[in-house]
Amino acid sequence: MTSSIYAETDWHARACRLRPDGRAFIAGERQALGASFAKHSPLDGRLLGQVARCGSAEVELAVRSARQAFDDARWARQAPAQRKVVLQRFAALVLEAREELALLECLDMGKPLRNALQVDVPASARCLAWYGEAIDKVYGEVAPTGVDALALITREAMGVIGCVVPWNYPLIMACWKLGPALAAGNSVVLKPSEKSPFSALRLAELALQAGLPAGVLNVLPGYGHEAGEALALHPEVDAIGFTGSTRVGRCMLEYAGRSNLKRVYNELGGKSAFLVFDDHADPAAAARAAAASLFFNQGESCNAPSRVLVQDSVADAFTEQLVEAARGFRAENGLDWGAPMGALVDEAQLKSVESYVGAGLQEGARLRLGGQRCHAESGGSYMQATVFDQVDNRMRIAREEIFGPVISVLRFKTEAEAIAIANDSPYGLQAAVWSHNINRAHRVARALRAGTVHVNQYDEDDITVPFGGVKQSGNGRDKSLHALDKYTELKTTWIQIDA
């Protein structure tokens, strides 16, 4: 369908006809529901369906199924070229199901349907296809040893990977784990967030349809302290690929310590700094970019540029432009085509964002736009685009991850001060430098402690580049060929050669 046909589609009617299936997916099939919880949509509070409340019993079944699939090598021993065919078919099926998946994403966690259709689903499919395409082009090494031996360095699949993912980009986060983990030949037990379980469950059905052998991918919905904890503690899980909050990332490290020292790859929170210098020729472009990146996905993005640091001499003009750009991000029902922002994921998230707005006001920041919930009569969890000025880096709104549509403007005088403020954060996921002085741009990019630094843009992103942070933003990298390292073990094989 073209974009104009999408624009004319009655997505509200389509949403009413959808019947999301919340049953767990284990050993290649849906399981009887058992204990469950009701899942409501943040768009308007409607009931979406019952979702399996998996616990240690279901984790045991799923891990056993994944282990058996790995041990009998029904997937791991398939030639890389064969795994590629299956992953590419999987990606094609995801694209075929794009409307259903996008609706599930929108209803489940509140994002605009248009973004889900045009960004989340294609990016997820591209990720699966990319790792499929890559896997038969990855070579091992021969070490430069003496002549009487041959030392081969190869990478082997690890075994069973537990993937625990958040709700903000449910499909993309799942595929960033599934792409490399499955391509490398592992089995996976995936636990989506209890706030967004439906699209991951549907993915498992599509994977089976694409030819992924039963048992290789299992999906367990449920709560973090139940299904998530049991999975991360399980002795037969070889690694955890986690994306979520820094608080739960700590738990993951503890679980590994208390169980089998499984590898833990943490992709955690952020408080990304966006530095605007007065030598940038087009501060309005910088303001538009900051607003577009922050308010995309209602501000529920780990890499949202939530701290905008602006040089004093241009700060007033810049802030006016930022407020103007932010006005365009109205929160609307995500099923309305063209909604600039949707609903926050639930009432708890909305309350948390409201409490940060209160903290900002109390600590003396100047509210320039928004700050209120909106459309309360709809039964949904909507929040206005919010801009604070005169923010100090010691305030809570500058130090803690808000994960909502709130952007803060901080001011600086010198380059050294800007770098010091940017780096004065427990997080180090992303950062940006806006400057037309090439020396400064390089100098500052080098000095910023972040996994990714953008220069004079913020929205470039591609599966070919690693994504991850430093400090308390985590220790792993999703995407790119580097992600394959997380789900493989290096093996050295020494072979004696009689000369």
Residues that bind ligand NAD (CB under 6 A): 164-168, 173, 191, 193-194, 223-225, 228-229, 232, 243-245, 248, 251, 267-270, 302, 401, 403, 429, 467, 469, 474, 478
Instruction: Quote the least distance from Cβ 361 to ligand NAD, whole Å.
Output: 23
Residue 106 vs 210, nearer CB to ligand NAD: 106
Q: What are phi and psi of 21, to 5 degrees?
A: -105, 115
b/e sequence 74-113, b meaning 16+ C-beta within 10 Å? bbbebeeeebbebbbbbbebbeebbbbbbbbbbbbbbbbb
Residue 51 vs 323, nearer CB to ligand NAD: 51
Q: Is-catalytic flag, 302?
A: yes
Q: How far are the Cα atoms of 84, 101, 132, 171, 198 from residue 175, in angstroms, in the given order?
A: 15, 13, 12, 6, 14
- Which of 58, 229, 267, 300 is the catalytic position? 267
Instruction: Quote the least distance from Cβ 14 to ligand NAD, whole Å.
Output: 27
Token couple for 187:
């089995």
Instruction: Quote the least distance from Cβ 161 to ligand NAD, whole Å.
Output: 15
- Which of 302, 354, 401, 415 is the catalytic position? 302
3-class secondary-structure state, position 153:
strand
Instruction: Quote the least distance from Cβ 294 to ligand NAD, whole Å.
Output: 13
b/e sequence 256-270, b meaning 16+ C-beta within 10 Å? beeeeebbbbbbbbb
Give the DSSP letter of residue 467.
B
Token couple for 195:
């706030």
CA atoms within 13 A on the CB side of 212: 33
**What is the enclosing helix (H) or strand (E) of 389?**
strand 386-389
* E strands in 199-262: 217-219, 239-243
Instruction: Quote the least distance from Cβ 341 to ligand NAD, whole Å.
Output: 17
Integer Cα distance of 115 and 339 in angstroms: 9
Instruction: Quote the least distance from Cβ 173 to ligand NAD, whole Å.
Output: 6
Instruction: Quote the least distance from Cβ 429 to ligand NAD, whole Å.
Output: 6
Residue 161 vs 441, nearer CB to ligand NAD: 161
Q: What are phi and psi of 281, to 5 degrees?
A: -75, -20
Residue 476: Cβ-neighbour burial (10 angstroms; 0-12, 13-18, 19+): buried
3-class secondary-structure state, position 137:
coil
Q: How far is CA 185 from the centre of its chain?
A: 22
CA atoms within 13 A on the CB side of 79: 5
3-class secondary-structure state, position 15:
helix
3-class secondary-structure state, position 11:
helix
Q: Is-catalytic flag, 320?
A: no
Catalytic residue annotation: 267, 302
